[in-house]
Amino acid sequence: MSQAQTVPAGLPEKIHWELPTTADAVSIPWTIWFVLAGINLALVGGTLDMSWHMSIGRETFWTPAHMLIQMESILVGIASGYTILVTTFKGSTRAREASVRILGLYAPGGAFICLWGSVAMLTSAPFDNWWHNAYGLDTKIVATPPHMLLMIGSFANKIGAMTWMASMMNRSRTALRGRLEWWLLWAGMICVAQLAVMTMDFTWMSDMHTASCYLVIALLIPPMMIATGWGSAHKWGCTIVGAVYTALSLAAEWMLPLFPAHPKLGPVYHNITHMVPLRFPLLLIVPAVVTDLLLQRLAQRSSWIKALWIGPAFVLSFLAVQWPFADFLMSPASRNWIFGTAYFGYADSAGFLYDPYKFDAAQPLRVFLLTMAATLVVSLLTTRFGLAWGDWMRRVRR
């Protein structure tokens, strides 16, 4: 006689609230979709917000751009909070094995990072509103503590999303890994785009013939781009990140001026009739391709050897294309809708108090050479950090 036992019809065969954690999962969980939706809405909202500040002015907190940005904190907070609560109080042993424990709570490490980022973003909203009421308009993109808190929180959400997806990829033996790989590259691209915006005060057209411009790039861009490309294990990961960053930046530059807008605050130096876009994207696609080619060539070498070659190559290849391209951007030939160097915000005193088509005063040769030498050293270290981060994303499972 068979010893098999049957499950009573009245009992469920599966706990429906349990989050998917098995290696056999083939679909992306709804929690990850919520996180991805949030960071994509914030990408649109952030782009619109910067244009809004340059075209219309911040007259109230309740702008469409601000609402899109804060949707990131809400959607990511819901997904990460739900995951933490379910894994802690109703999760199976298998779910807890795929989790880390923090303050007695269980969840994938990325979920905890996302939750912190969401709280930081939500906290920045009333703080930013108070700051504007107390001190008025911002003068710089990264100028105030509320903006810094917002950017750090948003960046944490993307890092958390990448960590979360990487852990799922490393536990997966199905097509899920390939699907998540593309979304990991997408999240990394948004991080690179955010960092490129954060460097704008140091990498504007007038700064592109200074060594400090390339020092800032070497400090911030290689670790994020290389960590994403190397961590995804895609042969052309860095190139994909650079290409999508370029494509989305161009799309924003070319589409925003199609929408009407008029300044609502002063002083008004330029009569704005449409949304003002940000600048033409940095030529990061070139060092991205160089990086992927070197990663393929040096695949079997140590991380320090990789960094020794890739870091300086990243900086020098970027310098080789961005320096002469800056000359072109300063010329009348670039003052059209393609390159966008004729766009200025309504409060920008370009053409009135300063010449926007003139490079900053040249640095003394000794200062320039010393700064460039420091840039090459920094690029080696940040590249090494990016490789270590990418290696970690290839291994993380919780």
6 occurs within a structural domain: no
Q: How far apart are CA 131 and CA 143, in angstroms?
A: 11
**Domain end call among 163, 198, 233:** 198
Summarize the confidence of residues 263-276 as an average pLDDT. Answer: 88
Nearest alpha-carbon partner for 100 in 92, 111, 90: 111
52 vs 70: CA distance, rounded Å: 16
pLDDT score, position 12: 44
How much is the pLDDT for 90?
83
125 — pLDDT class (breaks 50, 70, 90): confident
Residue 397 near residue 94, CB atoms below 8 Å: no
Q: Are residues 60 and 110 in the same domain?
A: yes
Confidence (pLDDT) at 201? 87
Residue 107 has pLDDT above 60, yes or no: yes
Is 218 in the same domain as 334?
yes
Residue 173: inside a domain: yes
Number of domains the chain is built from: 2
Distance CA 22, CA 19 (A): 9
What's CA 253's distance to the chain center, in Å? 18
User: Which tops the pLDDT comparison, 143 or 116?
Assistant: 116
User: The dihedral of CA 291, 293, 299, 304: what is its sign?
Assistant: negative
**Domain interval for residue 283:** 201-398
Average pLDDT over residues 144-155: 86
Sign of the alpha-carbon dihedral angle for 59, 65, 69, 70: positive
3-state secondary structure at position 180? helix
Which residues face 105 on adjacent strands?
102
Whole-structure pTM value = 0.88
- In a 3-state reduction of DSSP, which class is residue 245? helix
The first and second tokens of residue 213, run together, are 């411009």
Question: What average pLDDT does the segment 115-122 reach?
Answer: 92
Determine the Cα–Cα distance for residues 398 and 394; give it in Å rounded to an integer.
12
| The pLDDT of residue 304 is above 50 | yes
Per-residue pLDDT of 333-388, as tens digits, reads 999 999 999 999 988 888 888 899 999 888 899 999 999 999 999 999 999 999 99
pLDDT band at 10 (very low <50, low <70, confident <90, very high): very low
- 163 and 207 assigned to the same domain: no
Do 233 and 190 share a structural domain? no
43/191 Cα distance (integer angstroms)? 10
More confident residue, 22 or 305: 305
pLDDT tens digits, 208-236: 999 999 999 999 999 999 999 999 999 99
- Residue 371: the pLDDT is 95
